[in-house]
Amino acid sequence: MIRPLSRARRARKSVSIALAFLFVLAFIPPPPHTSARAARAADDPQAQIPVIAPGSAYRQTNLISDTPGLAPVLDPLLVNPWGISLTASSPF
């Protein structure tokens, strides 16, 4: 009499484990879809630069600097590299 009870208990336990596993699998979100173009774009550093409409941006060109490698001309005695001067009568 003990044996059929343990078999029924084992069967219920295995069915409940199987159902729990199926429920867990059903509610796991799928991995994000990446296309081949997106995978190539992630490897290419040029693809990560945003496209800016013509006429809505500017390009900075440093002509002289007191920092080595920042501009073609190096001047270690350079003071006020922005060209802004302060006077008593104007903000700049």
For position 2, what pLDDT does the model report? 55
pLDDT of residue 66: 85
Is it the case that residue 41 has pLDDT exceeding 60?
A: no
pLDDT at position 18, please?
92
H or E segment and range at residue 40: helix 36-43
pLDDT at 47: 63
Residue 73 pLDDT > 70, yes or no? yes
Q: Could you tell me what percent of the chain has a pLDDT over 90?
A: 8
Rounded Cα–Cα distance for residues 8 and 15 (Å): 11
